[in-house]
Amino acid sequence: MNLEPVAQNLVFGLFVGGLYGIAAVGLSLVFGVQKVLNVAHGSLIMLGGYASFWIFTWYGIDPFLAIAITGPLLFAFGLVLYFGLFRFVTRLREEERIKNSLLISFGLTLVLENVAIQLWTADERAITTSYAGEGTTIGDIAFPYTRVAGLIVAAICVFALHAFLTRTFAGKAIRATSEDWEAASLMGINVQRTYAVAFAIGTALAGIAGALVGVSYLIAPSIGLAWTLKALVVVVLAGMGSIMGAFFAGVLLGLAEALSIYVFGTSYREVVGLVLFVLVLLVRPQGLFGRR
Amino acid sequence: MLASGLAERVAYQRWTRLAKPAVISFFVIAALLVPQFTDRRDTLNLLFLVYLYIAMAQSWNILAGYAGQINLGHAAFFGVGAWTTRGLWTDEDVPFFLAFLMGGLVAMVFAIFFGLVTFRLRGVYFAIGTLALAEALRITVANLLPNIESLPGPTIARYELEPRYYLALGLTLFAAATVWILPRTRVSLGILAVREDEVAAEASGVNPLIHKLIALALSSFFAGLAGATFAFYHVSYYPAFTFSAVWTFDAVLATFIGGIGTVVGPIVGGSFFIIVRERLAVSLVEVHQIFFGVLFIVVVLMLPGGLVEAWFRLRRLVVRLLR
């Protein structure tokens, strides 16, 4: 058997996996910190994709640089969503909180998707940069620039988030709140503000993921559900709430999908992830990297 | 004062005892007579959709409203029902009514296996696990059956709307009657106990898995029959469309907006959903989704009993104002 196509496939799996990772990290953060299961995460990714698409189309700003705009933009939108909607569920018990946030964000998905159709039509769009399609080859394996840059950006974001959570005061407040919000509140941490910041960071990460999706995939109003499922699969593989775990689980899923093509063919790529997801939920509910 | 209040109340109760069956029979008779008074296809098509949606909402309501399990894979049963009935009826020449029943039964058998796997998950994990399985099934069906499914020519030539109308109406009445009887049976006590607190139910000797499976079996039976009705009604469709998550999501919306865990809720919600959708569809394409999305969020946050609860609150308010 010729190993070159396999290696090429694995390399692409790695790139895709990085994208899965960054798509899942925000969801994992929000779930881990405030037990809010935001199934509108995929729709936020879609919004981020559109934001960077329009910034690129109108102002000609490179999508990778535009992350400096889309990130804060989505951060602000996350604050609006938190104070407008998700603030109300944080008063509930944990189980009720998860259920109600799932329902609310389901309603939000419908709203976001259809507002996007109204504003930007249902057409599929992609960000085509001047260097799209160019790349370098090592051996006989191609490395397209946009994919390499996407993986690097994703990795930088995740490591920056990790540093933020472990090194800064605000980050430690977020982790303390996620472990025990009552105790954190007694230590003088403003729990509501911490929740708001964590939710906004999660939304910003979705925005960045969306920008990367726009460069290497397609954006359309309807991509939300598929990306939500993808992010959920990764989050469950990693264990709910594990940040670094989510990134590595994303990479793992990308590689697994790439390999599954040889067994089941390309049309079943999505099915492999979904079935893997249900199996992990059944067999190892705490996730591959989770501890319980 | 007290005596007159009591007399009023007795009179009121006597009135409602008579009024309820009267209102129900009025609506049922009116629905039965519609095709006699109009042959406008748009009216019959609209009412067909109303009945189909009420049946789907009602079936989702059995598992979600009474057993407390948020199943986001409900579309799978609709799809299995549609696929079974269409296959038996058009390819195997089984008499329609038998094929119709098989649609519900096969969906139910499928649901039992589905439930044996997914009921190992609790709460929200059950919700996302069922969604994932149903999506996996939809993609698989889209791969295996990529071609559009059409009724054979002779059947199209004989196509009449009226039997479709009555089938959907019958299904809706059957589903509503079942949900009405359900809380009056012994097994529902166990189902409701599981909804309130699974651990406490188990400690009291109620087997949660069995009771959840019973609720799922009923729920999927009606979803399968709804799919079978759809297969009877639609001339041509992509098989994967009947497995689409839209069927689940619309049932969820209709049930919650109407009032989850009641008989009337899905009826109100389903009718409201279709009528508002048709109204809004005249002007713009998908505006109804924005409307229902917002309404759904409002219901979850502020009005957990949906429109039914809103109605009772309004009535209480009016009564208080009149005093």
Structure tokens at A83: 């104070």
Amino acid identity of residue A212, one-letter, is L
What confidence score (pLDDT) does residue A4 get? 77
B contacts of A24 (beta carbons < 8 Å) = none
**B→A interface, C-beta within 8 Å:** 70, 117-118, 120-121, 123-125, 127-129, 131-133, 135-136, 139-140, 143, 245, 249, 252-253, 256, 284-287, 289-290, 292-294, 296-297, 300-301
Query: Which one-letter DSSP state was computed for residue A286?
Result: T
In a domain, B161, yes or no: yes
pLDDT, greater one: A1 or A171: A171
What confidence score (pLDDT) does residue B284 get? 59
In a domain, B72, yes or no: yes
Is the CB of A114 less than 8 angstroms away from the CB of B293?
A: yes
Which of A27, A34, A111 to mutate against chain B (most B CBs within 10 Å)? Answer: A111
Residue A88 has its nearest CB partner, among B117, B127, B301, at B301
In a domain, B269, yes or no: no
Return the residue of A nearest to B197 by Cα: A95
What confidence score (pLDDT) does residue A292 get? 46
In a domain, B97, yes or no: yes
> pLDDT digits over B85-144, tens only?
999 998 888 899 999 999 999 999 999 999 998 998 888 888 888 998 999 999 999 988
Decide if pLDDT at B172 tops 50.
yes
Nearest to B227 by CA among B147, B171, B156: B171
Residue A282 has its nearest CB partner, among B117, B139, B286, at B117
Structure tokens at A241: 């709430």
Question: Strand pairing partners for A138?
Answer: A141
Q: How many domains does chain B have?
A: 1
Decide if pLDDT at A193 tops 50.
yes
Which of B286, B302, B303 to mutate against chain A (most A CBs within 10 Å)? Answer: B286
In a domain, B286, yes or no: no
> pLDDT digits over A50-74, tens only?
999 999 989 888 888 888 899 999 9
- Rg over alpha carbons for chain A, rounded to the nearest Å, is 19
Residue A217: Cβ within 10 Å count: 16
Query: What structural domains does chain A harbor?
Result: 3-283 (1.10.3470)
> How far away is chain A from the Cα of B296, in angstroms, using its nearest Cα?
6
Structure tokens at B15: 């009135």
B contacts of A267 (beta carbons < 8 Å) = 139, 143
What confidence score (pLDDT) does residue A287 get? 63
Q: How many angstroms separate the CA atoms of A81 and A75, rounded?
A: 10
What was the ipTM of the complex prediction? 0.86
HSE at residue A149, side-chain half, CA atoms within 13 A, is 21
> How far away is chain B from the Cα of A255, in angstroms, using its nearest Cα?
19
B31-36, long-range: CB < 8 A, 24+ apart = B31/B169, B32/B169, B34/B165, B35/B162, B35/B165, B35/B166
Q: How many angstroms separate the CA atoms of A228 and A38, rounded?
A: 9
The pLDDT of A205-234, averaged and rounded, is: 90
Task: Write out the residue range of the structural domain in which residue B59 sits.
Answer: 40-244
Q: How many angstroms separate the CA atoms of A43 and A109, rounded?
A: 6
pTM, entire model: 0.88
> pLDDT digits over B227-281, tens only?
999 999 988 889 999 999 999 999 999 999 999 999 999 999 999 999 988 888 7
Residue whose tokens read 């067994």: A263
Q: Looking at mean pLDDT, say which of A31-45, A147-161, B25-39, B219-233 comes out highest.
A: B219-233
Contact of A152 with chain B, judged by CB distance below 8 Å, is answered with no
> pLDDT digits over A18-39, tens only?
999 999 999 999 988 888 889 9
Is the CB of A111 less than 8 angstroms away from the CB of B294?
A: yes
